[in-house]
Structure 1
Amino acid sequence: MNKLDRTAFLPVSKEDMAVRGIEQLDFVYISGDAYVDHPSFGTAIISRILEANGFTVGIIAQPNWRDPESVCTLGEPKLGFLVSAGNMDSMVNHYSVAKKRRRSDFFSPGGKMGLRPDYAVIVYSNLIRRTFKKTPIIIGGIEASLRRLAHYDYWSDKMKRSVLLDSGADIISYGMGERSIVEIAEALRSGIPVQELTFIRGTVYKTHIAPDGDDVLHLPGFDKISTSKELYAKSFYNQYLNTDPFTAKTLVEPYPDDHLFVVQNPPQMPLSTEEMDDTYALPYTRTYHPDYEALGGIPAIEEVKFSLASCRGCFGACSFCALTFHQGRIIQSRSHESLLEEAKKMTEDPDFKGYIHDVGGPTANFRKPACKKQMKVGVCKNRQCLFPEPCPNMEIDHTDYVSLLRKLRALPKVKKVFVRSGIRFDYLINDKDETFFRELVKYHVSGQLKVAPEHISDGVLRMMGKPQNSVYRRFVKRYKELNEEMHLNQYLVPYLMSSHPGSTLQDAVKLAEYLRDLGYMPEQVQDFYPTPSTISTCMYYTGLDPRTMKPVYVARDPHEKAMQRALIQYRDPKNYDLVTEALIKANRRDLIGTGKNCLLRPRHGDTRFAPPKPAANSNKPFDGKNKNGAKHGRTSQPPAPQSRRWTGEPPKKRGKR
């Protein structure tokens, strides 16, 4: 990394404050991530936004949650503490979907695991409150944002209250938060008590008196949704329908046992292109704090150091994705000038080798709202832009993205510009103008293009909110044709998901057969992970599709989930027993054997697949027919004993006689 003076970063110690002449900070930001001053990290954006608006901010990164003094190292702030778990929910950061502890943490020095607590927002906030009884605490980031109202918690397997209550914090800034955090800061600076900040968009607060009116929607109380899955599914869907800044109502969730109401104001309005540009033009150092250099640096920076975030938001709205709740469905984009300026700075980095690793966002080829009306009246409440069919009002247009990529390719020192963010192939294949598709294949694929069909069963895809498998097949066919036309040998790497609600063992077998026909076994498979605030997680917990309230099959048993996952990697010898069991349970023994369509060859000595033995003392002569009555190929003698047939294992070498 570049050797930067620590004064280029925000203060992380009393010494840093003294150098800047700061006696008391306005805000102290406590984060579960190491301090990386790069716009891909929420801590950097929020702290730099506050700095640009005249507030002083200090960073306490990964404090020792076992020591109350660790949150006191910068003293008491004038206006409040800001608390975030980091770029990921701390439970997702710590545990795999099988609830096993992960071995490394890319957001910690040297990738070391264990430097933040489980449920970090709650732990940090309670730690602060032990020492600072009345100082305002504002929580935000992905963990607080997606747990802002009552939610199902996969790791404890139960319903949990709003994180606002369990943390003891005063207010949540949810979503991306640039606007709401500045409004909160200015209100606190003007002397308004934090308990009276009930009017700011993009925030959640608690109160003893519930608001009322035509623009207020009262949800069922926590006491009711924690005992009724059907009621929770209905409540969750009402939350989902109120995530658009133009149409959302204020949501009120009662907590009778606490004599409190948790109130969610509508989301902050989308940022304009100018505001997005201003956010990314702030004086980030674009690297980790120099204190981490001796500890091995922060691995997460490698993923984003030479990548450009061109947009945010996603109107794809997949059921298993929390983007609808966090960034929203309205696309917000940066200007070409802003992106080109950042790219030029990138090329001056000594570590830059000529390759821009990515230009995108949640979905790379979304550069503007799906239709013109979205920036005037918001997104449709009861229909999706791409699912189950593309909306006739949607404007499918890659012109701006093509123009941007051409300008980036033309920059001095740039050899190649890759697109590695997710590509919505259904949006792409429905574009009548193939310019982007052709240039994507020709210039922007690094040998492999990653796409996310997720599954091949239309029933499962419907639960996922994804297009039918026929759409993906059209895309694959055209991608192959373009590669052949250009004399390129580039591959598609499909992201696949096992055990999503709606997926039965039979669906998993169909997916395995598809991979067999494709001649491909993925190295990585994503087993469905029930993270807070997604439609899929609601389905997983309730067994109901909240959109229709119809029952959904859910694979909740860990062993069945393991079988579905193993089927996708059926060629891996480690999965032999799981795949065998799955095929038998799915009544697909026809896929076990030596035929060309079989998924599995029985191992030598595995008697589960042997034909039944003849009855003892049977003197009935062999009549040349098999058990179904058909003539056997050889009638002069019975078939060779089972022990001499091919078992799937190579024959053993014989020794010399």
Structure 2
Amino acid sequence: MYEGFLPTTKKEMDDLGIEQFDYIYITGDAYVDHPSFGAAIVTRLIESMGFSIGIISQPDWHTDRDFRRFGAPKYAFLVTAGNIDSMVAHYTAAKRKRSDDAYTAGGAAGKRPDRAVIVYCQKLREYFGNVPVIIGGLEASLRRFAHYDYWDDAVRPSVLVDSGADLLMYGMGEHQIQELCTRLAKGENIHEIHDIRGTCYLTEPVNTPLGAAQCPSFEQVRDSKPEYAKAVKIQYDWQDEVYGKTIIQRHGRMMLVQLPPAYSLTTEELDHIYSLPYTRAIHPSYEALGGVPGIEEVRFSITHNRGCFGYCNFCSIALHQGRRITVRSVESVLAEAERITKMPDFKGYIHDVGGPTADFRRPSCDKQLSKGLCMGKKCLAPKPCPALKVDHTEYLSMLRKIRKVKGVKKVFIRSGIRYDYLIEDKDDEFMKELIMHHVSGQLKVAPEHCSAVVLDKMGKPHIEAYKRFQKRFYEITKGMGKEQYLVPYLMSSHPGSTLNEAIDLALFLKENKIRPEQVQDFYPTPGTISTAMFYTELDPYTMEKVYVPKTPKEKAMQRALLQYFLPKNKEIVLEALRAAGRRDLIGTSPKCLVADDNRGQGNNPRKGGDRPWQNTSKTRKASSGPQAKNTGSTKGRSSSFGNSQKSGTRNGQNGKRKH
């Protein structure tokens, strides 16, 4: 294996005596060799198998210079847009151009093209003809079927069709890439490798495998919203590694074939992945440009699990990473903690020990190991399943051991804690130690809304679970003599939310003395159930009509209602209340949200004992991303070619909050 970073220049290639790389990896991100980034995991894994690999990071797509840097690979080009969907990286939920990019040196925007996977692949075809091209990562994974594209406001075909690539890897990519590399080295033709789980390919309809679940075709879902909703349900229903089926979808004269998901990595396999010789740093070429913002919080973070059975409708994890929980061994996590303590700039603080959901260390129930996760059902919503098994014992034991590692002063948990799971634990021991040792003044949790109507469309538990958790959190905190607070993430304008639901949420915030500094609008990102609702105005699981706030005016009203206390929002809040027929909430009495003159309580954002420090629902592009950016989280991690091991998704995939 190489010592230090993998080669990125022709000089490094020549210095290593390599005449032709086996694989060339092209990414829309800056090169960061850290296991929180899928690019690092995939390239290190390929290297560990004995193959040579070169990295082309953020190639200039206006010229052939970067693409031709190494010549053609022996086996294949591997292409990813990077840690997040390139359109999410470039545009806000309001479709405004972003001014920064957390995965680019210096945070500079514009270093990757829109729809990067398509652009990169088309350039490779132009310059290298029929050299095999394989795509993966979040952008490819979540666009593998015909999908609604928010930025075009139209249904686009599978990215495999638009890109012209030979094969698409979806989900976590380690098993797929290992099998593919082995078989290509044996001389198999990429066009004949049609049996690797976790991949998609195009074929003539006559070659369609038997027994597959068929979605309505691209043409049908493009032209009919009910057909689109039906297709999304099929795609989610059969997304299980135990009972999942091959899924097919006709695209013109070709058939898109998605094979069942790859099997989750075992604990031993995960341990191996995290033992590879990462430098845990950005490439030195970026130092003079100010570094890469996306690494700052995860530099000293540890991923201990994968998957999430929370299964929120706006989150991409179920369709990409999967609902089954897999974990690293405690020994592997401790070994990584010890490696972190030896890093020259380590100050004693481990920023996170988490994953998509930090406190999941076991399946939600035992039967899913042999039967799979229940089709169309959720383990925690609207109420916890009777079969749910809640156990924080191993996670707590692991945290205690990390705290004892020499050089560690403090261990924080910054990725998502599922409060609805935690509050079901009959033993308070974990919650007490969480509050005592692992909260840095504020604990971020995600009730998202208070309306049962909206929460049902989100796939989230009802607000009573949050109230129970909030009550117990403050009881324990007060009992310890500590001053710590909950920071609840909230979302405006999700499908199902009318102005009345937004007003209910504003009243809930007022009652609980919560004043969010920032609010996130629902962002319709590719592939999620919530995005299907946004586009079709139908619930894919009931085919019932769903109210969807779509106009900029109504979205602005709903967002402003969650910050009713800000003077700048006064007029739009007044307009929203009048439009909803809620003039009873206009005035100076304690029940009102906003005054009707300049002397009302709504004009002093710190009046009335509310907590102005409470920071809710940032657009966290660490993602989002997946995109302040919540790069301190290790959520939503994925590795198929190059999603951030932290970005993947809430609200799609932006590295924004998910749970």
TM-score, normalising length from structure 1?
A: 0.90
Code of the residue aligned with 1:290 in structure 2: it is P
Q: Which runs of 5+ in 1 are unaligned?
A: 605-644, 651-657
RMSD: 1.6
1:332 aligns with 2:326: yes
Q: How many residue pairs align between the two structures?
A: 604
Residues 345-370 of structure 1, C-alpha deviations (whole Å, 9 max, x = no match): 11112221111111110100111111
1:497 aligns with 2:462: no
1:162 aligns with 2:127: no
For 1:230-269, what aligned pairs fall within 5 Å after superposition? 230-256=226-252, 259-269=253-263
Runs of 4 or more above 6 Å deviation = 645-650
1:365 aligns with 2:359: yes
Structure 1 residues 245 and 649: CA distance shift in structure 2, 3 A: closer
1:197 Cα deviation from its structure 2 partner: 1.1
Distance in 1 of aligned mates of 2:214 and 2:547:
30
Code of the residue aligned with 1:395 in structure 2: it is K
Distance in 2 of aligned mates of 1:419 and 1:21:
44
Q: Which residue of 1 aligns with 2:267?
A: 273
For 1:529-608, what aligned pairs fall within 5 Å after superposition? 529-604=523-598
For 1:436-515, what aligned pairs fall within 5 Å after superposition? 436-515=430-509
SS in 2 for 1:550: coil
Does the CA-based 8 Å contact 2:215-2:248 persist in structure 1? yes
1:48 aligns with 2:44: yes
Distance in 1 of aligned mates of 2:154 and 2:206:
26
Q: Which runs of 5+ in 2 are unaligned?
A: 605-659
Q: Which residue of 1 aligns with 2:102?
A: 106
Distance in 1 of aligned mates of 2:88 and 2:524:
10
Query: 385, 409, 432: which is aligned to 1:415?
Result: 409
SS in 1 for 2:177: helix
1:73 aligns with 2:69: yes
1:53 Cα deviation from its structure 2 partner: 0.9
Structure 1 residues 574 and 185: CA distance shift in structure 2, 3 A: same
Distance in 2 of aligned mates of 1:647 and 1:114:
43
1:556 Cα deviation from its structure 2 partner: 1.0
Q: Which residue of 1 aligns with 2:214?
A: 218
Q: Which residue of 2 aligns with 1:37?
A: 33
For 1:276-287, what aligned pairs fall within 5 Å after superposition? 276-287=270-281
1:235 Cα deviation from its structure 2 partner: 0.9
Q: Which residue of 1 aligns with 2:656?
A: none
1:571 Cα deviation from its structure 2 partner: 1.5
Structure 1 residues 550 and 529: CA distance shift in structure 2, 3 A: same
Residues 550-570 of structure 1, C-alpha deviations (whole Å, 9 max, x = no match): 111100112101110111111
Code of the residue aligned with 1:450 in structure 2: it is K
1:574 Cα deviation from its structure 2 partner: 2.1
Residues 608-645 of structure 1, C-alpha deviations (whole Å, 9 max, x = no match): xxxxxxxxxxxxxxxxxxxxxxxxxxxxxxxxxxxxx9
Residues 485-527 of structure 1, C-alpha deviations (whole Å, 9 max, x = no match): 1111110000000000000101001111111122221112111
Structure 1 residues 379 and 6: CA distance shift in structure 2, 3 A: closer
Q: Which residue of 2 aligns with 1:126?
A: 122
Distance in 2 of aligned mates of 1:79 and 1:581:
61
Structure 1 residues 135 and 212: CA distance shift in structure 2, 3 A: closer
Q: Which residue of 1 aligns with 2:348?
A: 354
Q: Which residue of 2 aligns with 1:389?
A: 383
Structure 1 residues 511 and 210: CA distance shift in structure 2, 3 A: farther
Distance in 1 of aligned mates of 2:570 and 2:344:
48
1:64 Cα deviation from its structure 2 partner: 0.4
Code of the residue aligned with 1:96 in structure 2: it is T
Distance in 2 of aligned mates of 1:382 and 1:364:
24
1:207 aligns with 2:192: no
Does the CA-based 8 Å contact 1:567-1:579 persist in structure 2? yes
Does the CA-based 8 Å contact 1:603-1:647 persist in structure 2? no
Distance in 1 of aligned mates of 2:206 and 2:298:
43
Q: Which residue of 2 aligns with 1:374?
A: 368
Q: Which residue of 1 aligns with 2:655?
A: none
1:112 Cα deviation from its structure 2 partner: 0.5
Structure 1 residues 585 and 200: CA distance shift in structure 2, 3 A: same
Does the CA-based 8 Å contact 2:570-2:602 persist in structure 1? no
Q: Which residue of 1 aligns with 2:616?
A: none
Structure 1 residues 387 and 73: CA distance shift in structure 2, 3 A: same
Does the CA-based 8 Å contact 1:222-1:254 persist in structure 2? yes
Structure 1 residues 452 and 486: CA distance shift in structure 2, 3 A: same
SS in 2 for 1:179: helix
Does the CA-based 8 Å contact 1:145-1:172 persist in structure 2? yes
Overall identity of the aligned pairs, in %: 55
Q: Which residue of 2 aligns with 1:617?
A: none
Structure 1 residues 130 and 646: CA distance shift in structure 2, 3 A: closer
Code of the residue aligned with 1:440 in structure 2: it is L
Code of the residue aligned with 2:515 in structure 1: it is M
Distance in 1 of aligned mates of 2:413 and 2:16:
41
Structure 1 residues 29 and 212: CA distance shift in structure 2, 3 A: closer
Structure 1 residues 461 and 51: CA distance shift in structure 2, 3 A: same
Code of the residue aligned with 1:338 in structure 2: it is S
Does the CA-based 8 Å contact 1:6-1:289 persist in structure 2? no
Query: 290, 293, 304: which is aligned to 1:299?
Result: 293
Does the CA-based 8 Å contact 1:97-1:529 persist in structure 2? yes
- Higher mean alpha-carbon deviation, 151-160 vs 15-24, is at 15-24
Code of the residue aligned with 1:535 in structure 2: it is I
SS in 2 for 1:71: coil
Q: Which has the higher contact order (CA 8 A, sep 6+)?
A: 2
Structure 1 residues 355 and 649: CA distance shift in structure 2, 3 A: closer
Query: 155, 159, 175: which is aligned to 2:171?
Result: 175
Residues 530-567 of structure 1, C-alpha deviations (whole Å, 9 max, x = no match): 01111100000000110111111100112101110111
Q: Which residue of 2 aligns with 1:27?
A: 23
1:61 aligns with 2:36: no
SS in 2 for 1:470: helix
Distance in 2 of aligned mates of 1:225 and 1:567:
35
Structure 1 residues 598 and 647: CA distance shift in structure 2, 3 A: closer
Structure 1 residues 145 and 646: CA distance shift in structure 2, 3 A: closer
Distance in 2 of aligned mates of 1:112 and 1:99:
18
1:649 Cα deviation from its structure 2 partner: 8.1
Code of the residue aligned with 1:381 in structure 2: it is M
1:21 Cα deviation from its structure 2 partner: 1.4
Distance in 2 of aligned mates of 1:572 and 1:7:
54
Distance in 2 of aligned mates of 1:587 and 1:68:
60
Q: Which residue of 1 aligns with 2:7?
A: 11
Distance in 2 of aligned mates of 1:647 and 1:236:
46
Does the CA-based 8 Å contact 1:68-1:128 persist in structure 2? no
1:255 Cα deviation from its structure 2 partner: 1.4
SS in 1 for 2:249: strand
Structure 1 residues 141 and 555: CA distance shift in structure 2, 3 A: same
Distance in 1 of aligned mates of 2:183 and 2:229:
36
